[in-house]
Amino acid sequence: MSEKLQKVLARAGKGSRRELEKYISAGRISVDGKTAFLGDRVEGTEQIRIDGHIVVLKDKDDDLCRILMYNKPEGEMCTRKDPEGRPTVFDRLPTLEASRWVAVGRLDINTSGMLLFTTDGELASRLMHPSKKVEREYAVRIFGDVNEAMLQTLRAGVKLEDGPAKFQKITYRGGEGRNHWFHVVLSEGRNREVRRLWESQDVQVSRLIRVRYGDMEMKRQLPAGGWTELNLKDVNYYRKLVDLEPETESKVKVDEKVMDNAKSRRIRRSVKKHQHRHQQATRRRR
């Protein structure tokens, strides 16, 4: 049975379906030597190339869905390579042989916190799509005077340059002077949406941390720059959330419920080693 071209390529780990649709529209993908078009379907036996490079396809029955939770530090780019040599969120991730990690959404360079990666492009696409209404929660430090009228406006909705937007929930978490912490929830991931919503009320976001995606929160003992692979139960939570069939296998042997101190220390040591290597590489380039 045939499948949409972008779906087959997403399963091969070449990006989300939305990204791949852009590749197709730009004429970057060919099927059996002919330029592909949106709407094309394939059987899986064709020779498919992206930018001239042959794609190794995966059989849908053999593909294993994996998910990483990554604690993104400020200063890292959500891109595979940065022309200025700045660190990226992909630098620290484990190497894959027959596929690649796909980021579930993006966090800008000044935003930290929970970022998911998966080998399943279809899962990534669904988790990001506004129609699935998957909640994202952020801890936000605001500089400026905030009153109840402003909060009501942000809950009711404001018009941004790319359309109306609002927070589904705003919870005050304390502060002093003109610095105050709030937790906010929304169910879409437009570019800099949290910052732009607050800026519409003439206040400044001085710190932004994603703390939850869906019902799953960032693991408290996961250090900045560290990653951990989700167990089968957690993988299937996200798959069920967006109406995908459950997985029956996992690369994670033990279904840990809480990250213990020993594992947290190992991750911290690994992060420090990576930082040291990156600093040395930066000095050599200079």
**Counting Cβ atoms within 10 Å, is residue 36 exposed (0-12), middle (13-18) or buried (19+)?**
buried
| Catalytic residue, candidates 108, 215, 255, 260 | 108
CA distance 219 to 223: 9
Handedness of CA 22, 25, 30, 32 (dihedral sign): positive
Asked if 203 and 141 touch (Cβ cutoff 8 Å), the reply is no
Structure tokens at 28: 């970057």
- Is residue 59 part of the annotated active site? The answer reads no
Residue with tokens 């059989």: 59
CA distance 217 to 258: 12
Q: What are phi and psi of 44, to 5 degrees?
A: 105, -5
* Contacts by 270-279, CB closer than 8 A, 24 or more apart: 270/92, 270/226, 271/92, 271/223, 271/224, 271/225, 271/226, 274/91, 274/92, 274/225, 275/225, 278/87, 278/91
The three-class DSSP label of residue 129 is: coil
SS3 content of the chain, % helix, strand, coil (to 5): 25, 25, 45
Structure tokens at 11: 């399963």
Cα 106–247–99 angle (5° rounding)? 50
End-to-end Cα, the chain, rounded Å: 54
**Residue 203: other Cβ atoms inside 10 A:** 17
Known catalytic residues?
108
